Amino acid sequence: MALARMTKKRAEEIYFILEEMFPDAKAELNFTNPYELLIATILSAQCTDVRVNQVTEVLFKKYPNPEDIANLSQEELEKEIYTCGFYRNKAKNILSATRILLEEYNGVVPETIEELVKLPGVGKKTANVVASCAFGVPAIAVDTHVFRTSNRLGLANADTVEKTEAQLEKIWPKEFWSKGHHLLIFLGRRVCKSRKPLCEECNLSMECKYYTKEKK
């Protein structure tokens, strides 16, 4: 069965179907302010949100302010975030980013993606998450789930996260970007899994390249 070429109208219809499937879609990292979200997102690389939330719950109670974390040694912070994996590099980036925030931004996380990506450990995906979830800036953060699901559904047809982001921004209106990112993550985590997708439980299986090629 050949899939029809994706149109903007159909892309919007897919968005609304996803909203019906996951009405509670939102960021699953716990945070109370932009700084906490920044640190949590840096920690989330190659780590589950569940684990990050466990670590940050303790971390932010012990060290509630950027100044508190900035005063830690590399070794002290490594011990706090050890279970998140890649702890040495993450500790180094967190300390560097926090000290830059204190020295150049008076401890306030910048709101623009352009400024965020200048911080150590902050790539485009992390910047998009922080800008979108903390400041309401329209952005699509393409993680492994967004990359997989958007390309399976035909919302994108790309071999890199950068191309996927650009294609999603083109096919969806700007007001869909931030919520759409969470909808695709929920789809990827709960239904459209990497190795064993639950196609029979998906309301969008007939849109899916994986389903039409592998299952049919």
Q: Is 143 a catalytic residue?
A: yes
Q: Are 128 and 43 contained in the same domain?
A: yes
Q: 123-169 pLDDT, tens per residue?
A: 999 999 999 999 999 999 999 999 999 999 999 999 999 999 999 99
Last residue of a domain, one of 91, 114, 135: 135
Q: Mean of the pLDDT values across residues 96-103?
A: 98
Q: Are 122 and 52 contained in the same domain?
A: yes
Q: Are 49 and 15 contained in the same domain?
A: no
Question: Per the domain annotation, does 1 fall within a domain?
Answer: no
Q: Are 60 and 121 contained in the same domain?
A: yes
Give the pLDDT score at 212. Answer: 86
**Cα–Cα dist 5/3, whole Å:** 6
Catalytic residue among 9, 62, 143, 213: 143
Catalytic residue among 61, 68, 125, 209: 125
Q: Are 146 and 130 contained in the same domain?
A: no
Q: Are 63 and 20 contained in the same domain?
A: no
Q: Are 105 and 49 contained in the same domain?
A: yes
The pair of structure tokens assigned to 12 is 């919007």
Last residue of a domain, one of 135, 151, 178: 135
> Which own/partner contact pairs does 153-157 have at CB distance under 8 Å and 24+ positions apart?
153/14, 153/204, 153/207, 153/208, 153/209, 154/3, 154/6, 154/207, 154/208, 154/209, 155/6, 155/11, 155/14
Question: Per the domain annotation, does 211 fall within a domain?
Answer: yes
> Residue holding tokens 């922080």?
130
**Cα–Cα dist 91/70, whole Å:** 11
The pair of structure tokens assigned to 52 is 């990050």
CA angle 48, 152, 208 (to 5 degrees): 125
Q: How many domains does the chain have?
A: 2
pLDDT at 3 over 80: no
The model's pTM is: 0.93
Q: Are 158 and 65 contained in the same domain?
A: no
Range of the domain at 65: 34-135
Cα distances (angstroms) measured from residue 115 to each of 58, 89, 123 = 28, 21, 11
Question: Per the domain annotation, does 2 fall within a domain?
Answer: no
Q: Is 209 a catalytic residue?
A: no
CB contact set of 215 (below 8 Å; sequence gap of 6+): 199, 205
Q: Are 79 and 39 contained in the same domain?
A: yes
Q: 45-66 pLDDT, tens per residue?
A: 999 999 999 999 999 999 999 9
